[in-house]
Protein backbone atom coordinates (compact mmCIF):
# COMPACT_ATOMS: atom_id res chain seq x y z
CA UNK A 1 0.00 0.00 0.00
CA UNK A 2 1.32 3.42 -1.01
CA UNK A 3 0.77 6.71 0.79
CA UNK A 4 0.05 9.60 -1.58
CA UNK A 5 0.40 13.25 -0.54
CA UNK A 6 -2.21 15.50 -2.15
CA UNK A 7 -1.73 19.25 -1.70
CA UNK A 8 -5.13 20.94 -1.84
CA UNK A 9 -6.70 24.34 -1.22
CA UNK A 10 -10.04 25.95 -2.01
CA UNK A 11 -11.28 25.89 -5.59
CA UNK A 12 -9.74 22.57 -6.63
CA UNK A 13 -11.32 20.95 -9.68
CA UNK A 14 -13.77 18.61 -7.94
CA UNK A 15 -13.38 15.53 -10.15
CA UNK A 16 -9.59 15.90 -10.38
CA UNK A 17 -9.43 15.31 -6.64
CA UNK A 18 -12.31 12.91 -6.04
CA UNK A 19 -11.82 10.51 -8.96
CA UNK A 20 -8.10 9.77 -8.34
CA UNK A 21 -8.70 9.56 -4.57
CA UNK A 22 -11.50 7.00 -5.01
CA UNK A 23 -9.40 4.91 -7.40
CA UNK A 24 -6.33 5.07 -5.18
CA UNK A 25 -8.40 3.89 -2.20
CA UNK A 26 -9.99 1.13 -4.31
CA UNK A 27 -6.47 -0.18 -5.02
CA UNK A 28 -5.54 -0.16 -1.32
CA UNK A 29 -3.56 3.08 -1.32
CA UNK A 30 -3.83 5.85 1.27
CA UNK A 31 -4.38 9.42 0.03
CA UNK A 32 -3.35 12.10 2.53
CA UNK A 33 -4.63 15.64 1.99
CA UNK A 34 -2.09 18.31 2.86
CA UNK A 35 -2.49 22.06 3.00
CA UNK A 36 -1.39 25.22 4.70
CA UNK A 37 -3.08 23.98 7.89
CA UNK A 38 -4.28 20.61 9.20
CA UNK A 39 -8.04 20.28 9.64
CA UNK A 40 -8.90 23.00 7.12
CA UNK A 41 -12.14 22.58 5.17
CA UNK A 42 -11.57 23.21 1.47
CA UNK A 43 -14.17 23.26 -1.28
CA UNK A 44 -14.11 22.37 -4.93
CA UNK A 45 -14.73 25.14 -7.42
CA UNK A 46 -17.87 23.42 -8.70
CA UNK A 47 -19.31 22.94 -5.20
CA UNK A 48 -19.59 19.16 -5.58
CA UNK A 49 -16.82 18.24 -3.15
CA UNK A 50 -15.65 19.46 0.23
CA UNK A 51 -12.75 17.84 2.08
CA UNK A 52 -10.70 18.38 5.23
CA UNK A 53 -6.92 18.48 5.09
CA UNK A 54 -5.18 15.78 7.10
CA UNK A 55 -1.81 17.44 7.60
CA UNK A 56 -0.06 20.79 7.40
CA UNK A 57 2.62 20.95 4.70
CA UNK A 58 5.13 22.61 7.05
CA UNK A 59 7.60 20.04 8.32
CA UNK A 60 6.45 17.16 6.12
CA UNK A 61 9.18 14.90 4.75
CA UNK A 62 9.00 13.56 1.17
CA UNK A 63 10.29 10.21 2.43
CA UNK A 64 7.05 9.71 4.36
CA UNK A 65 5.10 9.44 1.08
CA UNK A 66 5.32 7.21 -1.99
CA UNK A 67 3.81 9.66 -4.51
CA UNK A 68 2.49 13.19 -4.90
CA UNK A 69 -0.79 14.02 -6.65
CA UNK A 70 -1.67 17.61 -7.57
CA UNK A 71 -5.27 18.19 -8.69
CA UNK A 72 -6.08 21.18 -10.85
CA UNK A 73 -8.60 23.96 -10.65
CA UNK A 74 -7.50 27.13 -8.86
CA UNK A 75 -6.07 25.25 -5.89
CA UNK A 76 -2.51 25.06 -7.33
CA UNK A 77 -2.51 28.81 -7.88
CA UNK A 78 -3.57 29.42 -4.26
CA UNK A 79 -0.90 27.01 -3.01
CA UNK A 80 1.84 28.77 -5.00
CA UNK A 81 1.87 31.45 -2.32
CA UNK A 82 2.21 28.98 0.56
CA UNK A 83 5.97 28.69 1.12
CA UNK A 84 5.74 25.44 3.11
CA UNK A 85 3.70 23.69 0.41
CA UNK A 86 6.01 24.91 -2.35
CA UNK A 87 9.08 23.73 -0.42
CA UNK A 88 7.51 20.30 0.20
CA UNK A 89 6.67 19.95 -3.51
CA UNK A 90 10.20 21.06 -4.48
CA UNK A 91 11.82 18.49 -2.20
CA UNK A 92 9.36 15.80 -3.26
CA UNK A 93 10.13 16.36 -6.95
CA UNK A 94 13.84 16.00 -6.17
CA UNK A 95 13.19 12.67 -4.41
CA UNK A 96 12.49 10.97 -7.76
CA UNK A 97 9.21 9.50 -6.47
CA UNK A 98 6.14 9.74 -8.78
CA UNK A 99 4.61 13.20 -9.10
CA UNK A 100 1.25 13.40 -10.89
CA UNK A 101 -0.27 16.78 -11.81
CA UNK A 102 -3.38 17.43 -13.86
CA UNK A 103 -4.89 20.52 -15.50
CA UNK A 104 -3.58 23.57 -13.56
CA UNK A 105 -1.56 21.31 -11.24
CA UNK A 106 1.71 22.04 -13.07
CA UNK A 107 1.48 25.64 -11.81
CA UNK A 108 2.65 24.30 -8.46
CA UNK A 109 5.49 22.43 -10.21
CA UNK A 110 6.56 25.69 -11.86
CA UNK A 111 6.67 27.44 -8.48
CA UNK A 112 8.72 24.53 -7.10
CA UNK A 113 11.28 24.91 -9.95
CA UNK A 114 10.60 21.35 -11.12
CA UNK A 115 9.82 21.73 -14.84
CA UNK A 116 12.92 23.08 -16.58
CA UNK A 117 14.05 20.71 -19.33
CA UNK A 118 11.02 18.43 -18.83
CA UNK A 119 8.16 17.56 -21.19
CA UNK A 120 4.69 18.11 -19.73
CA UNK A 121 1.09 18.78 -20.60
CA UNK A 122 -1.55 20.85 -18.81
CA UNK A 123 -4.68 22.89 -19.31
CA UNK A 124 -3.96 25.06 -22.39
CA UNK A 125 -3.80 28.33 -20.41
CA UNK A 126 -0.82 26.98 -18.42
CA UNK A 127 1.16 26.21 -21.58
CA UNK A 128 2.95 29.58 -21.79
CA UNK A 129 3.82 29.48 -18.08
CA UNK A 130 5.39 26.04 -18.52
CA UNK A 131 7.33 27.12 -21.60
CA UNK A 132 8.54 30.29 -19.86
CA UNK A 133 9.76 28.07 -17.00
CA UNK A 134 11.82 25.99 -19.46
CA UNK A 135 9.48 23.05 -20.06
CA UNK A 136 8.44 21.55 -23.38
CA UNK A 137 4.63 21.48 -23.65
CA UNK A 138 2.75 18.87 -25.67
CA UNK A 139 -0.97 18.31 -26.21
CA UNK A 140 -1.55 14.69 -25.17
CA UNK A 141 -3.88 13.06 -22.61
CA UNK A 142 -0.94 11.84 -20.48
CA UNK A 143 2.72 12.73 -20.60
CA UNK A 144 5.33 10.88 -18.57
CA UNK A 145 8.82 12.32 -18.22
CA UNK A 146 10.97 10.73 -15.55
CA UNK A 147 9.03 10.89 -12.30
CA UNK A 148 6.51 13.42 -13.65
CA UNK A 149 3.07 12.37 -14.90
CA UNK A 150 0.89 15.16 -16.31
CA UNK A 151 -2.53 15.41 -17.93
CA UNK A 152 -4.65 18.17 -19.44
CA UNK A 153 -8.20 18.05 -18.05
CA UNK A 154 -10.97 16.02 -16.38
CA UNK A 155 -11.60 14.12 -19.64
CA UNK A 156 -8.10 12.62 -19.19
CA UNK A 157 -8.73 11.27 -15.68
CA UNK A 158 -8.93 7.61 -16.73
CA UNK A 159 -5.53 7.67 -18.45
CA UNK A 160 -4.01 9.94 -15.79
CA UNK A 161 -5.10 7.75 -12.88
CA UNK A 162 -4.07 4.57 -14.73
CA UNK A 163 -0.57 6.00 -15.24
CA UNK A 164 -0.23 6.85 -11.55
CA UNK A 165 -1.55 3.46 -10.45
CA UNK A 166 0.92 1.73 -12.81
CA UNK A 167 3.79 3.60 -11.13
CA UNK A 168 2.55 2.53 -7.70
CA UNK A 169 2.27 -1.17 -8.56
Q: Which residues are catalytic?
A: 103
With 0-12 CB in 10 A as exposed, 13-18 as middle and 19+ as buried, what is 28?
Answer: exposed
Contact 31, 11 (CB under 8 A): no
Residue 14's SS3 state is helix
Count of other CB atoms within 10 angstroms of residue 152: 23
Alpha carbons 72 and 150: distance in angstroms, whole number: 11
Please, where are the H alpha helices in 8-68? 14-26
Residue 112's SS3 state is coil
Please, where are the H alpha helices in 71-169? 75-79, 83-94, 106-111, 127-132, 157-168
Amino acid sequence: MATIAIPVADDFEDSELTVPMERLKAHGHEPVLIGSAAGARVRGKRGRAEVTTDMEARGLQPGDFDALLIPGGYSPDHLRTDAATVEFVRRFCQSDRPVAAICHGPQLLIEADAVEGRTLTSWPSVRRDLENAGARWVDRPVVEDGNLITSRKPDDLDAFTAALLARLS
